[in-house]
Amino acid sequence: MQSLKEVRESRGVKQLAVAAYLGVSRQTYASYENNPESMSVEQAKAVCDFLHVSVADIFFTSNVSET
């Protein structure tokens, strides 16, 4: 699982671009990267669409153990 920041940086996207897409300040978006659970579901979907990544890849961990 990658963080929002890791995905954003790997795509060469600035925080300001994502913030503008979401209609929030850069500072607000930066706080979302540090505390993603503070985002609404709609914002989470939107940022994942913008970054071309699945919501599950960012927000859900896979805790599957092999037996």
Alpha-carbon dihedral 50, 53, 4, 26, rounded to 10 degrees: 0
**pLDDT greater than 90 at residue 65:** no
How high is the pLDDT of residue 59? 83
Q: What is the mean pLDDT of residues 8-24?
A: 96
**pLDDT greater than 70 at residue 16:** yes
Q: What is the mean pLDDT of residues 55-59?
A: 87
pLDDT over 70 for what percent of the chain?
90
**pLDDT greater than 80 at residue 66:** no
At residue 50's C-alpha, the angle toward residues 54 and 6, to 5°, is 65
**pLDDT greater than 60 at residue 63:** no
Residue 39 carries which DSSP code?
Answer: S
The answer to whether 32 touches 19, Cβ cutoff 8 Å, is no
